[in-house]
Amino acid sequence: MGYANIEHEVPVNENSVFKIGSLSKSILATGMMLLVEDGLVKLSDDVCRYIPKLRAQSQGITIEMLLSHTAGLRRNPVNENFFAVGSLQAIVDTLENWTLVDRPGESFSYSNLGYFVLGFLIEELSGLRFSTFFEERIFKKLGMVRTRTTSAYEIIKNRSASYFVANNSVLNAGDLIQFRPSGAFISTITDMLIWDKSLRNFSILSEDGFDRMATPVRLRSGKASSYGFGWYVFRGRHDTILFHGGGLWSFRSYHLFLMKAGISIVVLANRRDTNVKAITTRILDMTAPEIAADWAEATVAVQSDTNNP
| Residue 123: per-residue pLDDT | 94
| Residue 79: per-residue pLDDT | 67
Give percent above pLDDT 90 in the chain: 73
Query: Measured between alpha carbons, how far apart are the two ends of the chain, in Å?
Result: 25
pTM to 2 decimal places: 0.93
Q: How would residue 152 be classed by pLDDT, with cut points 50, 70 and 90? A: confident
Instruction: Calculate mean pLDDT across residues 248-277.
Output: 96
Q: How would residue 176 be classed by pLDDT, with cut points 50, 70 and 90? A: confident
Distance CA 93, CA 299 (A): 36
| Residue 293: per-residue pLDDT | 86
Average per-residue pLDDT for the chain: 90
Distance CA 267, CA 277 (A): 8
For the cut 80, the answer to whether the pLDDT of residue 301 exceeds it is no
Contacts of 303 (CB under 8 A, 6+ apart): none
Return the higher-pLDDT residue of 179 and 109: 109
What's the fold here for domain 14-303? Answer: Beta-lactamase (3.40.710)
Cα torsion 177, 181, 183, 186: sign: positive
| Residue 309: per-residue pLDDT | 44
